[in-house]
Amino acid sequence: MILTEANRNSIILVDFQPAYQSDDFGYDDAIEEAIAHINNAKPRFVTCFFNGSDVGIEDTIQEVAWHYVEHGLDEDLLHNFSFKEKSYAWLRNWMDQDIANSTIIQVVRYLVMNDMNDSRDIELETFQKLTDGQFGDENPDDAIYIPDINIADLRKLSGSLIGGGGRHECLRELQLFMNAFNIKYKQVEEWTYG
């Protein structure tokens, strides 16, 4: 595995948690590859995003942390971990409709620059310009919104190695969000599932 042009002291992992464990999608291999790297490299910062009670999943921070240990993490390294519960599907409505990544990024930037959280709050004329008329004459109810993720904190992770899942779902959603703010990352394929 080539890990050039990345901050080897910072890792972002998405949705490695008990609720998603399934070997059907390469989950076990991905988490074990990530943990082997962490045990060997001993990075200073490991940020773990997971879905929790906000979206009806019962995984707690303690359970997610223990999940990493159960998969071989050196327990002494847990002090380098930061666990962050995230919202679910903040961009997925449009991702699943094959709306262009560039359009999603443009709308996310507009929302943040204008202190807005929900694409339905954008005036119709502005919305049509931002989306190049992809939604016709309306601002659809299938909104995208800004998650409760601190962008300043995310910027500090620029250059991180990143992995997790699903590759076209939650992981991709976080990557698009990072792309909107030019936050760099290096996806490690061996750490990716789904």
Low-confidence ranges of the chain (pLDDT < 50): 1-3
For residue 145, give both structure tokens: 């919104």
Q: What is the pLDDT of residue 184?
A: 96
Q: In what order do the strands lie in the sheet with 160-164?
A: 81-86, 45-51, 7-14, 160-164, 185-192
Quickly count: other Cβ atoms within 10 Å of residue 167's Cβ: 19
Q: What is the pLDDT of residue 49?
A: 96
**CA distances in angstroms from 70 to 11, 18, 67, 74, 160, listed in the order given:** 19, 10, 5, 10, 24
Q: pTM to 2 decimals?
A: 0.92
- DSSP letters, 44-109, are SEEEEEEE-GGGT----HHHHHHHHHHTT--GGGGGGEEEEEE-S-SSHHHHTTT--HHHHHHHHH
SS3 of residue 145 by DSSP: strand
SS3 of residue 43 by DSSP: coil
